[in-house]
Amino acid sequence: MTQDSKSNAKQNLILVGNGMAGMRTIEEILKLEPEKFNITVFGDEPYGNYNRIMLSPVLANEKTIDEIMLNDDDWYKENNIQFEKGKKITEIHRTRKEVIAEDGTAHPYDKLLIATGSTSFMLPLPGVDKYGVIGFRDIKDVDTMIEAAEHYKKAVVIGGGLLGLEAANGLMKQGMEVTVVHIMDTLMERQLDAPAAKMLQKSLEEKGMNFLMDHQTEEILGDERVTGIKFTDGTTLDTDLLVMAVGIKPNIDLAASAGIHCERGIVVSDTMQTFDPNIYSVGECVQHRGVTYGLVAPLFEQAKVAANHLVELGYARYEGTITSTMLKVTGIDLFSAGDFHGDDDTEELLFHDVASGIYKKLIIRDNIIVGTCLYGDTIDGTWYFQMMKDETNISDFRSTILFGQAHLGDAGHGDETRVAAMADDAEICGCNGVTKCEIVDAITEKKLFTLDEVRAHTKASASCGSCTGLVESLLAHTLGGDYSQAPSKQSMCGCTELTHDEVRDAIRKHGLKNHEEVRRTLAWKTDDGCAVCRQATNYYLLCEYPEYNDPESRFINERAHGNIQKDGSYSVVPRMFGGMCTPQDLRAIADVADKFKVPEMKVTGGQRIDMFGIQKEDLPEMWKDLSEAGFVSGHAYGKAMRTCKTCVGDTWCRMGTQDSTGLGIKLEELTWGSWMPHKYKLAVSGCPRNCAEATIKDFGVVCVDSGYELHVGGNGGIKVRVTDFLTKVDTEEEVLEFAGAFAQFYREDAHYLERTAPWIERVGLDKIKAAVLDDEENRKKLYERFLISQKPAQIDPWKKHAEGVDAHQFKNIKITVEA
Amino acid sequence: MSNWLEITNLESIPVLGSRVVETDSIKIAIFRGKDDSIFAIKDECPHKQGPLSQGIMHGDSVTCPLHNWKISLVSGEALGVDEGCTNVYESKVEDGKVFLKLS
Ligand code: SRM
Ligand SMILES: Cc1cc2nc3c(=O)[nH]c(=O)nc-3n(C[C@H](O)[C@H](O)[C@H](O)COP(=O)(O)OP(=O)(O)OC[C@H]3O[C@@H](n4cnc5c(N)ncnc54)[C@H](O)[C@@H]3O)c2cc1C
Ligand code: SF4
Ligand code: FES
């Protein structure tokens, strides 16, 4: 079947504009369907495509042109791409579906991708065409500047924004005497507020940069070559080189002259399609939902979406990007994102330490970060930015947020989280013993950009993940401006570009029924996926279809229904509802332990008994005995409901207010067997003394005289988190309904391997309240769905296996080999 | 001289899953790929002897259940940045039966 479509003649895809956005789209297409198109690329620059944002470090002598080339001529050859280097397209003939190059040749297309980028905006001043007046956009401009620095002394940069300052810094590094002329009285007014801008100006002045603020240029002086400029106030300034960095102008002429609808940029839809269905456009030349962009992160997202539609997968949508800014001037730390000025409805959190040159400002609306501006200490920039994008509710840690992520009670790391100050041999990843310098070396030597790449190369953050924040800070710190290249969304694993949410949505939307359908429909890069995406996908599928099960996509613990131990044996933990037991129960466990010669037993932290060192082949027999004595699996091994811890309660305890053990049993009977995104624990305490530690459980109940307080999102593990109070209810029935509804909302909303604590921190308590507290009807629906999912889940897996399901798993094939 | 040993029916090994073959001296994990290809590898991870048979199989490699090393089922070598190697054995399928060549 696929054979057919392949034998059809390939379509012609033409890309006009060999820049960062266009070529990223081509790379995405090659990843998805390398055989779909005959690809021809036109670029009017005489090089392969290069990393334009690195022109600043090149100018500052920190990188060479070779180091910033992304794809050389060989790459185009290897990928069978016809590369028309140095050839400009001057005309698009839409009815004939042809582009015409400047040499008059015509080239037919089936699909056309326009990624013509933008050009430096040159102020229309008298004299702007003199020699030595340039923009800052491409390799040619950089060459001109370096050459000028060899022969001349003085340079002026008009424009005190990001580009202007990077140009000025580079020219200074080339040995020139540089003055920045800016029309406003503070620098980078689109990214910085006045205090931060003043601090920046001071630091740059200390480096030797000169400033003429509040100055408007009127005329460029000189004969053939620029010799100076004249301002509106009549004064003049001598210079041998004039760099204009006052803004960029989207290159829309080609598209506009072909009758494609353009405003400031080429207007595209959420699929990156222009008004001509055969023509797509990405990059700085486009205008999407009224916005044009001038940074790479949004363009890379656009590239992914355009590729998705060009290969006719057709499900991706571009919905705009919130961008952040850093300045690539060595020794200056600056980070800004969002609305950093604020308005009447916003509040401002401010930290300003003049002596040590640190300024941090967060703009908050309804406890959600809407903007940030950091100077001097930008380590937490990515953290604030992530919370801003996630719309995280910060009310819980508002009072300490300005001190950074390090202060969030990250048990065990504490102040050391300031990665910049850490010693080179400091251990970042405790699980895999990876040090700071190993990570930094890997990032620089292997050119790593993303968390996943660091994980793959160093193993750091690849296990328990508690050091993920540290590794991300190290990435940001080591890469500086480059980190903006990292995708702003995290894909599930290396097998797909899609995020957890996107995979899940696709399963729901397209009714995907199994692993193969998911991987095929969503164009997975690997045939079988990998251990990471298979387990996650498996969970999403079984959450949609409670009967679904693919044992081979589950971690061994869930396949063998026991915890694998370091020597390959297993542990067996029978469920003890609410921690309650009878002498018969204990006797049955003792008998089983004797019969199977269990080497060691222990009372667990979850109020039940663990038997260690069981050989896999013995498991079904042992389960059979336990099952006959009335026990079911304790799921101590699963991403599943684990235990419901209880305290004595009002049956015996002189302080008890309610029957906490009885309620605990009911809760465990309701929830046992449920598969979850991660482990899930409950507890019921009989009074606020809270002996069952209900306030560090995923769902905790604290009984009080007048009813039951319900708490959610606690965690006692790697990073201790106290629960959020959800509500108080009057009856046990209500407790059960809330317990089921909350569990179901978590099951349907959280990412695989995300416990309730980080989930709530990501989505915010308000979202949970809206779903399970404020909307009664929705709560009842969630509860109902939970009960439905519990039907297959509560068929005891131990009993099933004891009765012979998957028996092959437990039986080795014994053979004798003759000598 | 070594000979082909008949081990089991192909059908007794789940697709993308494994069985363990046990002799007096060693354990060998037999994996079955999606296209019914068969791989035989010593059931010992080069890292800390984890039982590879219990890992998740994908393509022609397996992820060890203990610390997530990825091991090639073709060469027995650790993939990615990890370094180490374990034995692989010759195997074949004929008429729905799985054969293994030891040593
Ligand atoms: C057996 C037990 C220790 C004990 O002897 O008491 C235990 C044993 C393991 N825990 Fe635990 N945990 C046990 C109670 C706990 C508790 C205490 C509790 O539940 O009250 C906690 C902290 C509370 C919490 O979860 O919030 C706990 C937090 C963890 C964590 C960190 C989880 C987190 O979200 O931060 C892990 C690692 C993970 O899940 O990724 C972990 C992982 C493990 C694993 C499964 C390690 C692994 O991945 O293989 C251990 C299996 C040992 C083995 O070979 O059998 N164990 N573990 C306890 C079993 C309880 C039960 O009856 O089911
Ligand atoms: C000095 C500098 C520093 C920067 N720093 C950062 C930073 O730190 N972070 C960040 O996110 N962004 C930064 N940027 C912005 C970033 O480089 C751009 O957003 C990005 O390169 C735009 O990609 P594009 O593909 O849309 O355009 P371009 O990369 O400009 O590519 C367009 C290409 O199309 C070619 N072209 C145009 N018209 C035609 C035609 N008719 N026929 C053939 N070819 C044509 C052009 O010659 C050009 O090569 C920086 C930019 C500069 C100049
Ligand atoms: S704390 Fe938990 S995971 Fe760590 S060694 Fe003890 S039982 Fe194992
Ligand atoms: S034993 Fe296999 S990864 Fe450690």
- In the structure, which protein residues have their CB atom closer than 6 angstroms to any atom of ligand 4? B 45, 47-48, 50, 64, 66-67, 69
**How do beta strands B61-63 and B56-58 pair?**
antiparallel
Q: What is the mean pLDDT of residues A767-796?
A: 96
Residues of B in contact with A566 (CB under 8 A): 48, 66
Q: Do A456 and B80 touch (CB under 8 A)?
A: yes
Choose from A528, A535, A571, A616 for mutation: most chain B CBs within 10 A. Answer: A528
Closest-CA residue, ligand 4 atom 4, reads B67
pLDDT reading at A510 higher than 90: yes
pLDDT at A406 (0 to 100): 62
Please tell me the distance from the alpha carbon of residue A587 to that of residue A305, in angstroms, as a whole number.
62
pLDDT reading at A417 higher than 90: no
Q: What is the mean pLDDT of residues A366-394?
A: 86
The three-state (H, E, C) secondary structure of A349-402, written as one string = EEEEECCCCEEEEEEEECCEEEEEEEECCCCCHHHHHHHHHHCCECHHHCCCHH
Which token pair is A794? 């509560």
The alpha carbon dihedral of A22, A24, A28, A29 has a sign of positive
Element (H, E) at A253: helix A253-257
- If one counts every other C-beta atom within 10 angstroms of the C-beta of residue A404, the result is 20
| Residues contacting A2, CB < 8 A, separation 6+ | none
Please tell me the distance from the alpha carbon of residue A426 to that of residue A48, in angstroms, as a whole number.
41
Element (H, E) at A198: helix A194-206
A556 vs B: CB within 8 A = yes
Ligand closest to Cα of B47 equals: 4
Please tell me the distance from the alpha carbon of residue A453 to that of residue A473, in angstroms, as a whole number.
14
Note whether B73 and B60 are within 8 A (CB).
yes
Q: Is the CB of A284 under 6 A from ligand 2?
A: yes
Nearest to A528 among B30, B34, B55 (CB): B34
pLDDT at A368 (0 to 100): 93
Which token pair is A134? 């340039």
Please tell me the distance from the alpha carbon of residue A440 to that of residue A550, in angstroms, as a whole number.
39
pLDDT reading at A418 higher than 70: no
Q: What is the mean pLDDT of residues A442-450?
A: 78
pLDDT grade for A4, boundaries at 50, 70 and 90: very low
Q: What is the largest CA-CA distance in chain B?
A: 39
Please tell me the distance from the alpha carbon of residue A53 to that of residue A295, in angstroms, as a whole number.
9
pLDDT grade for A354, boundaries at 50, 70 and 90: confident
Q: Tell me: the pLDDT tens digits for A638-680?
A: 999 999 999 999 999 999 999 999 999 999 999 999 999 999 9
> How much is the mean pLDDT over chain A?
90
Q: Tell me: the pLDDT tens digits for A301-332?
A: 899 999 999 999 888 899 988 888 878 787 78
Closest-CA residue, ligand 1 atom 43, reads A637
Q: What is the mean pLDDT of residues A117-141?
A: 96
Q: Tell me: the pLDDT tens digits for A604-649?
A: 999 999 999 999 999 999 999 999 999 999 999 999 999 999 999 9
Q: Tell me: the pLDDT tens digits for A558-584?
A: 999 999 998 989 999 999 999 999 999
pLDDT reading at A7 higher than 50: no
pLDDT at A414 (0 to 100): 36
Nearest to B14 among A456, A463, A552 (CB): A552
B79 vs A: CB within 8 A = no
- Asked which of A278-282, A447-451, B71-75 is least confident by mean pLDDT, the reply is A447-451
- The residues that bridge with A50 in the sheet, in sequence order, are A69
| Residues contacting A636, CB < 8 A, separation 6+ | A563, A571, A573, A604, A606, A608, A610, A642, A643
Note whether A333 and A375 are within 8 A (CB).
yes
pLDDT at A628 (0 to 100): 95
pLDDT at A416 (0 to 100): 36
pLDDT reading at A463 higher than 80: no
The alpha carbon dihedral of A777, A778, A779, A785 has a sign of positive
Q: What is the mean pLDDT of residues A190-218?
A: 93
The alpha carbon of A177 and the centre of ligand 1 are apart by a number of angstroms equal to 63
Which is nearest to B55 in space by CA: A557, A80, A48, A138? A557
pLDDT reading at A587 higher than 50: yes
Name the residue with tokens 């790449």: A453
Please tell me the distance from the alpha carbon of residue A447 to that of residue A730, in angstroms, as a whole number.
58
B10 vs A: CB within 8 A = no
Residues of B in contact with A553 (CB under 8 A): 16, 56
pLDDT reading at A237 higher than 80: yes
Q: Which of B43, B44, B45 to mutate to test the pocket of ligand 4 (most atoms within 8 A of CB)?
A: B45
Closest-CA residue, ligand 1 atom 51, reads A563
Please tell me the distance from the alpha carbon of residue A536 to that of residue A542, in angstroms, as a whole number.
10
Q: Tell me: the pLDDT tens digits for A677-728?
A: 999 999 999 999 999 999 999 999 999 999 999 999 999 988 899 999 999 9
Residues of A in contact with B57 (CB under 8 A): 528, 552
Please tell me the distance from the alpha carbon of residue A798 to that of residue A812, in angstroms, as a whole number.
19
Nearest C-alpha of chain B: how many angstroms from A570?
Answer: 12
Please tell me the distance from the alpha carbon of residue A755 to that of residue A717, in angstroms, as a whole number.
10
Q: What is the mean pLDDT of residues A771-781?
A: 96
Q: Please state the pTM of the whole predicted model.
A: 0.61
Please tell me the distance from the alpha carbon of residue A239 to that of residue A538, in angstroms, as a whole number.
66
pLDDT grade for A413, boundaries at 50, 70 and 90: very low
pLDDT reading at A411 higher than 60: no
pLDDT reading at A118 higher than 70: yes
Note whether B31 and B41 are within 8 A (CB).
yes
Q: Which long-range contacts (CB under 8 A, 24 or more apart) does A62-70 make?
A: A62/A330, A65/A139, A70/A20, A70/A23
- Percentage of chain A beyond pLDDT 90 is 70
Residues of A in contact with B72 (CB under 8 A): none
Q: What ipTM does this complex have?
A: 0.72
Nearest C-alpha of chain A: how many angstroms from B58?
Answer: 5
Q: What is the mean pLDDT of residues A775-802?
A: 95
Please tell me the distance from the alpha carbon of residue A211 to that of residue A164, in angstroms, as a whole number.
12
Which is nearest to A671 in space by CA: A627, A635, A646? A635
Q: What is the mean pLDDT of residues A129-156?
A: 96
Nearest to A568 among B51, B63, B102 (CB): B51
